A and B are shown apart, each in its own frame.
Chain A
Amino acid sequence: MKFLTYLGIGTIFGIVMTKSEAVSWFRIQEMFRFESFHMYGIIGVAVVVGALLVALLKRFDVHAIDGSELRLKPKAHTYRRYIYGGTLFGLGWAMTGACPGPLFTLLGHGILSIVLVIASAVLGTYVYGAFRGRLPH
């Protein structure tokens, strides 16, 4: 049952990513070239609606269905990891036209070469894990 719940939410997410065209390499180029409002509209609406929902959840002290606290912990207030890591991710996002969600969704589109991108993303994660002690955070 739980399995089907998460599979269902993921499936809807994959459909939304496709139908919104957020999985499109072309849309990501267009976004970074500031030549259309489309992607900014998607992210902007998601953030504004998301912020309203989170504010309401906090205001009414809503808990998860199992009674636990919602996973809304504040993030640590260091900044170097966010700016350095974020910038590296941004470089990869503009190259491949995909962030991690769309990487999986594009596989569902039958684009087999995306397997190479996913595999090297796993490798990149591994190398980060191996060297994180030497990186500024």
Chain B
Amino acid sequence: MEFLSQPWHWSVSGVLIALTMLALLLLGKEFGVSSNLRTMCTLVGAGRRHDFFRIDWRAQTWNLVFAAGAILGGFIATTWLANPDPVAISAETTAYLNSVGIDYPAGEGFVPDELYAMDRLLQPLNWLFLVVGGFLIGFGTRWAGGCTSGHAISGLANLQLPSLVAVIGFFIGGLVMTWLILPFLLPYLTAAA
């Protein structure tokens, strides 16, 4: 079991993601997680107001079940296959994060407590940060017609030029946020209450 609890090598993970896509293709489906966000809008009645959500959600049930599996997989991996050590990110990244107030490596887990701990949500700026981040994910993926699974994996594997454009967009946004905005924002977000 020890090889399961260690972090998996990137090549193993890459192959398994490709096989996930293959399994869904052979089942007559398309690997794309962000479509579930649209289905959820339909489920809460958005189709009554906007055509875009007037879809047969039953045809998307498989994808919602897939997302439920992704939750279950996260539970299994952290409950029985957990690596006791913090994620071994590079020394440069660690030094940068420390400089903007993120105490790393501290504790376990995959997200910084300074942004995700429940008591941080009492601070308006931290609350707003997660809300805006989530909003951009939902708005952006639907505008682009897909996310990392739909464009970066499925689209690029199918040699789709539009998907390459989308992935370039992912990086433009990611780089602007990481280099031009987060270095100035994170000190405020990580400051003690």
Q: Which residues of A have CB within 8 Å of B23?
A: 9
- The interface residues of chain B lying within 8 Å CB-to-CB of A110 are 75, 78
The 0/1 profile, CB within 8 Å of B marked 1, for residues 53-65 of chain A is 1100100001011
Q: Contact at B33–A65, with CB atoms within 8 Å?
A: no
Closest A-chain residue to B43, C-beta based? Answer: A122
Per-residue 0/1 for A77-96: is the Cβ within 8 Å of any B Cβ (1 yes, 0 no)?
11101111111111111111
Chain B interfacial residues counted at CB < 8 A: 124
Q: Are B29 and A71 in contact (CB under 8 A)?
A: yes
Chain B contacts of A105 at CB under 8 A? 70-71, 73-74
The answer to whether A117 touches B137 (Cβ under 8 A) is: yes
Question: If the complex has contacts A16-B20, A64-B26, are A104 and B140 also in contact, measured as CB distance less than 8 A?
Answer: no
Interface set, chain A 38-62, CB cutoff 8 A to B: 38-39, 41-51, 53-54, 57, 62
A/B interface sample: 28 pairs, CB < 8 A: A2-B62, A5-B27, A10-B65, A10-B67, A11-B69, A11-B73, A13-B69, A14-B73, A15-B74, A15-B81, A19-B4, A21-B110, A32-B177, A32-B179, A35-B90, A43-B14, A43-B152, A51-B157, A64-B26, A81-B144, A92-B135, A98-B137, A99-B148, A100-B33, A106-B111, A111-B111, A120-B130, A124-B37
Q: Which 3 A-B pairs have the closest CB atoms?
A: A14-B73, A10-B69, A86-B169
CB closest chain-A residue, reference B171: A90
Using Cβ atoms and an 8 Å threshold, which residues of chain A touch B181?
A: 91
**Residues 83 to 126 of chain B near chain A (Cβ within 8 Å):** 83, 87, 89-90, 92-93, 96-97, 104, 109-112, 115-118, 120-121
Residues of chain B lying within 8 A (CB to CB) of residue A19 = 4, 7-8, 13, 77, 81, 83
In the assembled complex, which residues on chain B have CB atoms less than 8 Å from the CB atom of A113? Answer: 116-118, 120-121, 130
Tell me which of B36, B92, B158 contacts A100 (CB under 8 A): B36
Given contacts A92-B134, A108-B75, is CB(A71)–CB(B109) below 8 Å? no
A16 to chain B: closest CB distance in Å? 5
Q: A92-B140, A114-B116 are in contact. List 19 more A-B contacts (CB 8 A).
A: A11-B70, A20-B12, A24-B110, A44-B14, A50-B156, A68-B28, A81-B145, A87-B169, A89-B173, A90-B177, A93-B177, A100-B33, A100-B149, A104-B33, A105-B74, A116-B134, A119-B134, A124-B135, A126-B138
